[in-house]
Amino acid sequence: MAANHGHFSKALAEWAASRMRRKEGDKLAKINIMSISDTQNLLKENNISIDDAYLYDANYLHNMCLADYRKTLPEKEDIAMYIDETLNDPDGKPEMVLACFRAKMDVMGVPIHWERYL
- Per DSSP, the residues of the chain read --GGGGS--HHHHHHHHHT-EEEETTEEEE--PPPHHHHHHHHHHTT----GGGHHHHHHHHHHHHHH-TTTS-SHHHHHHHHHHHHT-TTS-TTHHHHHHHHHHHHHT----HHHH-
* 52-68: average pLDDT: 96
Please determine, for residue 56, whether its predicted confidence score (pLDDT) is greater than 80. Answer: yes
Residue 3 vs residue 103, higher pLDDT: 103
Predicted TM-score (pTM) of the model is 0.91
